[in-house]
A and B are shown apart, each in its own frame.
Chain A
Amino acid sequence: MAEKFLLQVKNLKIALKVDKNFIPIVDGVNLRLEPGKVLGLVGESGCGKSVMAQSFLRLLSKELQIVDGQILFYGQNGHETVDIAKMQPKGRDIQSIRGGTVSMIFQEPMSSFSPLHTIGYQIMEVIKLHLNASKEKARKITIDLLDRVGIGDPGHAVDRYPYEFSGGMRQRAMIAKALSCKPSLLIADEPTTALDVTIQAQILKLMRDMQQEFGSSIIFISHDLGVVGQMADEVAIMYMGRIVEQGTAKEIFKNPKHPYTVNLLAAIPRLGNLEARKRLVPIRGTVPGLFSRPSGCAFHPRCDSFMPGVCDGNFPDFMEILPDHIVACHLYTQ
């Protein structure tokens, strides 16, 4: 065992540059991920979860800049530790990581493949680059991968174009591509949101099987709490660029502490007691715009436990309520 962690994010800040102002999108995030673990990242749209995930591979567009913090990636098996936040977005260092030791699965299986090249070509491209394999060898590996992710007749599928694949098959091919170099970290950004429930169940099962086989860590981003509960060992809840609560999946679901987490869990329809047909408890109001970030704890205008003078003052510190369960809320800082 070389290092305890695989990835450690320290005080990461990413800002959107508008004219000459910087609007914070990710506002001081700390994260740790152990090898072989699955971290679920939950939040509403616009909370910065995708931006943060993309920053781990330096895929951010020009307007989004990392203004502070570190993304430490601990190389396993004797590789040295690197700070991804310091790398040049188009430099050689990040390119050797991107798609190799860290790879990504995107939400839209329709738009994440190039329509001009065959599926096989696009997977082989990665293998040739990172594993220095010959064309024949890369093709063999690709066919084997397509077979493992459950695509029928992989010998022919390898020469097909993305339009010939259905959504579920494309997402399977995407998983094959992401796993082609046996990455130590896989970032899955809403991998099943565009899919139907039955296909979603198939893809989740495939990801779990593959994760066990390859031993990769996964950062699993989703807004669907049910899916995250199934996939993740640990869950982090994000709100307006900050992590507000983090703990084991069991703790977060059974014993949520932050009012936002509590409300989020109460707002989803559940199947357990259909007869009762309880009214859903929605969260008041909407997520504030990026330009009007509330002072202090960003959730305070929507929070039922709002304490005037405290919550709108400064951002609460993280408190460790139980080992491995941290929460940032003034209710627990006393």
Chain B
Amino acid sequence: MSTLIDVKDLKMYFPLRRTTLFRRQKIFLRAVDGVSFKIRKGETLGLVGESGSGKTTLGRAILRLIEPTGGRILFKNGNGETDIATLSRKALRQQWRHMQMIFQDPYASLNPRMTVKEIIGESLVANRLASGEKMDKQITDIARLCGLNTRHLGRYPHAFSGGQRQRIAIARALVMHPKFIVCDEPVSALDVSIQAQILNLLKDLQQELNLTYLFIAHDLSAVAYACDRVAVMYLGRLVEMATTEKLYYTPRHPYTEALMSAIPPDDPEISMQQVLLEGEQPNPADPPPGCTFHPRCRYADKNICAEQVPPFREVSTGCFVACHFAEELSLKGSQEQAA
């Protein structure tokens, strides 16, 4: 499978000002700190991590909704290759036709003063892609594909339920026939029965329109269902990336193991294993030296882990881990926890 997006050493620093007794110091919060990975054409790559790990920032930086501090984002469209990170504003607007975003909260992401038709058609108007009857047809086609009742397109968002609103947001993202979509927690604001509808819809649309997704979520079971591969983020860095089965059943990074152990089992008769992770995520503005996970890691070695930053390397085909001891450790996956 060919690569669609190639992210190289992406950095997103936010300046924080801190005043000490004598002088003002400029400190950076490293929300995304040198992240490299590839997204293949037609796949769904999951991105998981605790809140504050930088996953939403990474998703936004890839689309350049925020200006990254450094790194390259190569977007391979057709034969050409564009570096999103260095495009001019005008050229970027052109590229946004091919890359879109679905936001977490469908109650906040739709303009309450616009009708559904205006919301879905706005990007067509802004990009002068269609007008008149042709535009109407495009809007109704995409709305039907997303499971919306086309007779209700003249209504305002307040008349729709959460699940329906998320369908509107999906239709808006798809109307220009993009190649790549960043889904930032697309189902976490929805009820369980509606979540399943939206997850199924995203899957159907992917097959029909040949889409590529970056699926950002903290719900590990939804990610397992939706994604082909999953990347785990901790304090601005990727710690592991592998196929969904490998990551869930045979994790290679201690943090992934801890995440998997925290998923409540399907069966109430199986009691949850002991909690593998004590304490909380450190302050991202002041991360620990070396491997940022070492203060909470039960396998950490005092010398190596506290001093050297582990490289994000391929330990077996398609399996990337940032841990000094990835080869030596044998870790438990979610399946063993359940069995």
Cα distance A35–B164 in the bound complex, in angstroms: 43
Q: Which residues of chain B have C-beta atoms less than 8 A from A227's C-beta?
A: 264
- Per the 8 Å Cβ criterion, residues 137-179 of A in contact with B are 166, 168-169
Interface range on chain B: under 10, 10 to 19, 20 to 34, or 35 or more?
35 or more
Q: Is A198 an interface residue (CB 8 A)?
A: yes
Q: Is A91 an interface residue (CB 8 A)?
A: no
Contacts A198-B277, A269-B221; A281 near B248 (Cβ below 8 A): no
Residue of A nearest to B160 (CB): A286
CB-based contact A269/B338 at 8 Å:
no
CB-based contact A197/B268 at 8 Å:
no
CB distance from B194 to the nearest CB of A (A): 7
Q: Which of A122-130, A270-278, A324-332 contacts B (4 or more CB under 8 A)?
A: A270-278
CB-based contact B267/A229 at 8 Å:
yes
CB-based contact B196/A267 at 8 Å:
yes
Q: Which residues of chain B have C-beta atoms less than 8 A from A226's C-beta?
A: 221, 263-266
Partner of A264, one of B163, B193, B271, B275: B193
Cα distance A264–B248 in the bound complex, in angstroms: 24
Q: Is B169 an interface residue (CB 8 A)?
A: no
Q: Which of A49-57, A104-112, A200-208, A305-313 contacts B (4 or more CB under 8 A)?
A: A200-208
Residue of B nearest to A286 (CB): B161
Q: Which residues of chain B have C-beta atoms less than 8 A from A267's C-beta?
A: 192-193, 195-196
CB-based contact A270/B266 at 8 Å:
yes
Q: Is B259 an interface residue (CB 8 A)?
A: yes
Cα distance A250–B269 in the bound complex, in angstroms: 7
CB distance from B187 to the nearest CB of A (A): 10
Partner of B259, one of A198, A204, A269: A198
Q: Which residues of chain B have C-beta atoms less than 8 A from A225's C-beta?
A: 192
Cα distance A253–B218 in the bound complex, in angstroms: 24
- Per the 8 Å Cβ criterion, residues 178-207 of A in contact with B are 196-202, 204-205
Cα distance A100–B244 in the bound complex, in angstroms: 47
- Per the 8 Å Cβ criterion, residues 168-224 of B in contact with A are 191-197, 199-200, 203, 218, 220-222, 224
Q: Which residues of chain A have C-beta atoms less than 8 A from B334's C-beta?
A: 271
Residue of B nearest to A194 (CB): B51
CB distance from B3 to the nearest CB of A (A): 23
Q: Is A37 an interface residue (CB 8 A)?
A: no
Q: Which residues of chain A have C-beta atoms less than 8 A from B104's C-beta?
A: none
Q: Is A279 an interface residue (CB 8 A)?
A: yes
Q: Which residues of chain A have C-beta atoms less than 8 A from B203's C-beta?
A: 279
Q: Which residues of chain B have C-beta atoms less than 8 A from A290's C-beta?
A: none
Cα distance A101–B284 in the bound complex, in angstroms: 41
Partner of B51, one of A196, A253, A281, A287: A196
Q: Which of B191, B222, B278 has the most CB of A within 10 A?
A: B191
CB-based contact B191/A44 at 8 Å:
yes
Residue of B nearest to A253 (CB): B268
Partner of B191, one of A271, A277, A287: A287
Q: Is A223 an interface residue (CB 8 A)?
A: yes
CB-based contact A253/B267 at 8 Å:
yes
CB-based contact A279/B224 at 8 Å:
no
Cα distance A218–B164 in the bound complex, in angstroms: 35
CB-based contact B191/A223 at 8 Å:
yes
Q: Is A249 an interface residue (CB 8 A)?
A: yes
CB distance from B335 to the nearest CB of A (A): 7
Contacts A201-B272, A226-B263, A279-B200; A271 near B194 (Cβ below 8 A): no
Residue of A nearest to B337 (CB): A271
8 cross-chain pairs, A with B, having the tightest CB-CB distances, nearest first: A269-B225, A229-B268, A226-B264, A282-B196, A201-B262, A283-B193, A267-B196, A280-B196
- Interface pairs (24), CB distance under 8 Å: A44-B193, A196-B218, A197-B262, A200-B262, A201-B262, A205-B275, A226-B266, A230-B268, A230-B272, A249-B268, A267-B196, A268-B221, A269-B196, A269-B224, A269-B225, A270-B266, A271-B221, A271-B266, A271-B338, A272-B335, A274-B245, A274-B248, A280-B200, A286-B163
Residues in A lying within 8 Å of B, measured CB to CB:
44-45, 166, 168-169, 196-202, 204-205, 223-227, 229-230, 232, 249-250, 253-254, 263-264, 267-272, 274-275, 277, 279-283, 286-287
Residues in B lying within 8 Å of A, measured CB to CB:
50-51, 161, 163-164, 191-197, 199-200, 203, 218, 220-222, 224-226, 244-245, 248-249, 258-259, 261-269, 271-272, 275, 277-278, 280, 334-335, 338
